[in-house]
Amino acid sequence: MDVFRRAALLLLILTLLPSLAFSQNTNGFLELWGESSKTALGFFWKSGWAFVLGYAISGMIQAFVPKKKLSRQMGAGGIKSVSLSTFFGAISSSCSFAALAAARSLFLKGAHFISTVAFMFASTNLVIELGILIFIFLGWQFIVAEVIGGLLLIAISSVIIKLTYPRKWIEAAREKVEEESAEEEDFDWRKRIRSKEGWFLVGKKFVMEWKMAWEDILIGFTIAGFVSVLVPQSFWEAIFLNGMQGQLPDFLIRLENALVAPFVAAATFIGSMGNIPMATVLNENGILFAGLMGFIYSDLMVPPLVNMNRKYYGAKVALYIAGVMYISIVLTALILNYSFEFLNVLPEGSRKVAEVTQFAIDYTFWFNLVFVFVAVVMLVFNFKAKKGAPDEGHEHGSDGISFKRAIVYLFAVIVFLGLLVHLFLSS
């Protein structure tokens, strides 16, 4: 929808205005611009390997998992199905964008809608990579909270969906997904997984998912970089009523934190790999535990992801998913806050965020190096698949340069020039 595209541009412009107001000279503005661009690139750097992993898994699910077999395992929407989806999500990608692509694959193959949503939550809240980031930036106590809260989040959302299941909307969404992803269902997965053509198909699916998501990814991460640098810390303190203890009832402040946190996460446009550093900034400024956990769990609430769900399932189902997530997140954040407080294990303090988007020779570097190779292999497989079936390739309508594509190019130019500015000022 145009509203998401125009909102993205408007938000970036609004974040640039404070830098013009607070910088007394051109050099001050250039420093902010350069640092913002560096941070935006840092978000890409941190989650680049996760994107490749997630889309590769998505491609393998689509290519090798027969619909009937998956329907027997995840098509009922019961405890067994949700548990399997949770486990599958936990061993999948930590990237929000890739999680939606993989969830769509499961839904296409016959997974129940409840299991699909459970997979979304698990693949962005219960993965090992995210736990590592939480340990680095927030401490081990927050890992415990993240796991307990993630399971609670899945349980609450499953109950809500069962009670409010919009059958007609979900059936229409499934028809939409199947129409856009037509594929024969009768095949022997054992033969396909041993064949070259089967792996060429994985590459084709991998590229198709990237084509659907790369614009939203670039827009979201660029805005995330600028917002994280240009928005002052006092702004976050005011939003979360920091310092109002004693003037307002404690429950009201906790409730406000839990209610507002998802909207703040949505406004920052940061996905699961990027919101942990931002959560650390909030924690350093005294944000309550309920607000902090609500912020962390809201990585699937950002506009580019809601828009991606709209592409996959239609506007009604996308808004329904967002509504279920919001209610589940608020309830989970409050339950966690009161439970940890009752047990006197409420996490306090945080580790400093001195190098949120630092480029270093660490696990991110090596993972990115490995998954660049994986991406190249997928591209080769895609080329082989297109070469074997040249008449199958078709693009979703893209006549000329759309408004969204123009914004993507604009953001790319802004980040590129900002990086040049940063390098020039650093030299």
Q: What percent of the chain has pLDDT over 90?
A: 18
- pLDDT for residue 148: 94
| Top-confidence range, 27-41, 142-156, 400-414 | 142-156
49-88: pLDDT as tens digits? 777 887 788 788 778 877 656 656 776 678 888 888 888 8
Contacts of 343 (CB under 8 A, 6+ apart): none
- pLDDT for residue 395: 44
d(CA 146, CA 81): 22
- pLDDT for residue 388: 63
Task: Pick the more confident residue, 14 or 375.
Answer: 375
- pLDDT for residue 259: 95
109-149: pLDDT as tens digits? 788 899 989 988 888 888 776 776 777 677 788 889 999 99
Which CA distances in Å does 64 have to 192, 209, 273, 386?
7, 16, 28, 18
d(CA 316, CA 362): 43
Lowest mean pLDDT among 79-83, 186-190, 250-254, 348-352: 348-352
DSSP H helical ranges for 233-314: 233-239, 250-268, 275-284, 289-297, 303-313
- pLDDT for residue 160: 95
- pLDDT for residue 317: 92
Which among 299, 284, 245 has a CA at the least distance from the CA of 120? 299
- Per-residue pLDDT band for 339 (boundaries 50, 70, 90) equals very high
Backbone angles phi, psi at 245, to 5 degrees: -60, 135
| Top-confidence range, 153-162, 350-359, 360-369 | 153-162
Task: Pick the more confident residue, 322 or 226.
Answer: 322
- pLDDT for residue 353: 44
Contacts of 34 (CB under 8 A, 6+ apart): 418, 419, 421, 422, 423, 424, 425, 426
Rounded to an integer, the average pLDDT of 145-174 is 91
- Per-residue pLDDT band for 282 (boundaries 50, 70, 90) equals confident
Q: Reply yes or no on whether the pLDDT at 355 is more than 70.
A: no
- pLDDT for residue 196: 87
Lowest mean pLDDT among 88-97, 350-359, 362-371: 350-359
Rg (the chain; Cα; Å): 22
Helix (H) or strand (E) holding 90: helix 79-90
CB atoms within 10 A of CB 151: 18
Task: Pick the more confident residue, 156 or 48.
Answer: 156
Lowest mean pLDDT among 13-22, 67-76, 189-198, 370-379: 13-22
- pLDDT for residue 400: 47
- Per-residue pLDDT band for 25 (boundaries 50, 70, 90) equals low
Backbone angles phi, psi at 138, to 5 degrees: -125, -25
- pLDDT for residue 24: 46
Q: Reply yes or no on whether the pLDDT at 398 is more than 50.
A: no
Q: Reply yes or no on whether the pLDDT at 392 is more than 60.
A: no
Phi-psi region of 314 (alpha: psi -120 to 50; beta: other; left: phi over 0): left
166-193 as b/e, with b when 16 or more CB fall inside 10 Å?
A: eeebbeebbeebeeebeeeeeeeeeebe
229-263: pLDDT as tens digits? 777 777 877 888 877 777 788 889 999 999 999 99
Q: Reply yes or no on whether the pLDDT at 326 is more than 60.
A: yes
Q: Quick one: tokens of 323?
A: 């509504």
Q: Reply yes or no on whether the pLDDT at 391 is more than 50.
A: no
- pLDDT for residue 217: 72
What residue type is 299 in one-letter code?
Answer: D
- For residues 355 and 306, is the Cβ–Cβ distance under 8 A? no
For the chain, the average pLDDT equals 78
- pLDDT for residue 99: 78
Q: Reply yes or no on whether the pLDDT at 5 is more than 60.
A: no
